[in-house]
A and B are shown apart, each in its own frame.
Chain A
Amino acid sequence: MMNLAEIEIPWMEEVVEKLRHQFDSGILHVEQSYDFPVVVIAKQSLMDVLLFLKNEPDMGFTFLTTLCGMHMPEQQGQEFGMVYQLHNMPQNRRLRVKIFMPESDLDVPTATALWPTANWMERQEYDFFGFNFVGHPDLRRILNMDEMNYFPMRKQYPLEDLGKHDKDDAKFGR
């Protein structure tokens, strides 16, 4: 079987070079994850980079495939992250943009101005991780019940929650 990590992405260097030229220190790290280029950028450059990737004619990443949140408690000071997965449809190029931030500052600029589809995606990440998308038109929970008062996808809860009272243990032999 082909090793995906060894696949050469012919356009990657060119795109990364343009990004570095445009944003210099805003680009923190570039790597290839399997057959996918990943660009880690500074949080304050996020909107500029996304705008550049979308609107610059020779970039052409006009489609937001998905976005998602991350929680990595072991990364001190960089516990939370957001991933934006972009697609250049005419040339079939895909790019992943990541930002990291500490738990104390979960403000992220909203991508809804660039892609209206980000509206519900960002609501989901707010729902599960508690990111505060600054400028989002309607930042409410979307999947969980409105009464929920915590962010369930954060990796800070025990696997088996002993304080959980809604399961009748007597019936389940625990």
Chain B
Amino acid sequence: MNIDIRPENTPPGLEGAGFFATSIDKVVGLARANSLWPLPFATSCCGIEFMATMASHYDLGRFGAERLSFSARQADLLMVMGTISKKMGPVLRQVYEQMAEPKWVLSMGACASSGGIFDTYSVLQGIDRIIPVDVYIPGCPPRPEQVLDGILKIQELAKNESLRRRHSAEYKEMQNAYGLE
């Protein structure tokens, strides 16, 4: 079988005999993007689709995100998958606060993104009401291909954001808007 293994594209830089020079942003971005440690916050059917995404058919390990972290302190990608009730809101927020920078948040499915069909008194109408979200995946539930697409979008963010973005006034303002420190 002919397996097409494509290495990561070399970032733009200066190359010569025995050396390669590029900016530290690009190198760190590559490392971060291809070794994401996701924290699965799975509450319902989207979590089942995520399990399929992790399993051999779709194999999230191909994208360097094989190692799930069930400790928020070691994770850098929070994947919220499923209905979040208002009572669970503070728990989700605490998990987010426990994660170290850099951190990204992926909201999977209609419920996590908007409350979905649960337009009711007990359900949080989208997790972006309590924590900032980087990528939304639509669907009810989304197929594993869509989850992979969402992860790739997160990788693009990780690759292309400046190392200093997390110290920027804009980022701090966004965190403050959510009442986060």
Residues of A in contact with B (beta carbons under 8 Å apart): 143-145, 148, 152, 166-168, 171-172
Contact = CB atoms under 8 A, between A and B. Distances in A.
Interface in B112-169: 114-115, 119, 121-122, 124-126, 129
Interface in B54-82: none
A143 B119 contact: no
Contact of A167 (B85, B87, B89, B125): B125
B107 to A, nearest CB: 14
A167 B119 contact: yes
A148 B123 CA distance: 12
Contacts of A171: 114
B93 to A, nearest CB: 13
A171 B126 CA distance: 12
25 contacts: A143-B87, A143-B122, A144-B86, A144-B87, A144-B121, A144-B122, A145-B85, A145-B86, A145-B87, A145-B89, A148-B121, A152-B121, A152-B122, A166-B124, A166-B125, A166-B129, A167-B114, A167-B115, A167-B119, A167-B125, A168-B114, A168-B125, A168-B126, A171-B114, A172-B114
A148 B126 CA distance: 18
B124 to A, nearest CB: 8
The main secondary structure of chain B at its interface with chain A is loop
Nearest to B86: A145
A127 to B, nearest CB: 11
Contacts of A166: 124-125, 129
Nearest 5 Cβ contacts at the A-B interface: A145-B87, A166-B125, A167-B125, A152-B121, A145-B86
Contacts of A143: 87, 122
A152 B129 CA distance: 22
Contacts of B115: 167
Contacts of B89: 145
A144 B88 CA distance: 10
Contacts of B125: 166-168
B113 to A, nearest CB: 10
A21 B126 CA distance: 58
Contacts of A144: 86-87, 121-122
Nearest to A146: B87
